[in-house]
Structure 1
Amino acid sequence: MKSLVFLSAAALLLTSCNSTPPTVEPIPGSITYGGQPRTKLTKAPVGSRLHNSFRVVNGVAYETYVIEPDRSLKLIRREIRSDFYDTN
């Protein structure tokens, strides 16, 4: 019985390790919203990161992109910070 519980727990842990993280979808204001940009970043090394920030309804969105081997941009992270205390 103990071995069955142990094997069940081990199987559950191993299956959770194989899941892929959710992808970040572009929103209006993102560089890749509506598709990839027309110009390719030919001088930037593959794997380089670039940042984009823009205003959204409830604050400011900060995004991080990585340059893929085919020179396309992949959105890997977005953080939206509230501007509740902003006095502007």
Structure 2
Amino acid sequence: MALNECRSVLRYRLRKNTVDLNSITSFSKDGSDIEILDLIFRLPPKYRDSIYLYYFEELSVQEIAELTKIKENTIKTHLKRGREQLKDMIML
């Protein structure tokens, strides 16, 4: 019962505190932040979603795994590969 209540709280938090990634036009006053956000939009959806939930919504790997019904190790892999792809994009 406690687990279900925690899931409900997380779902509520995610639903109420999220912003549609496609609706963001400016991230901050600094131009480099807009460039980084643009690079995040170019990632494949599974990496983009994991990175968004982890860095922007500040959810833990465990919370993301529970919400998405994906194993924690898979979320960690998505984060790692997403960061690697972002790094490669920045280096170009």
TM-score range, shorter chain: under 0.3
Query: Highest CA radius of gyration, 1 or 2?
Result: 1
Structure with more strand by fraction: 1
Relative to total residues, which structure has the larger helix share, 1 or 2? Answer: 2
Query: TM-score by structure 2 length?
Result: 0.24
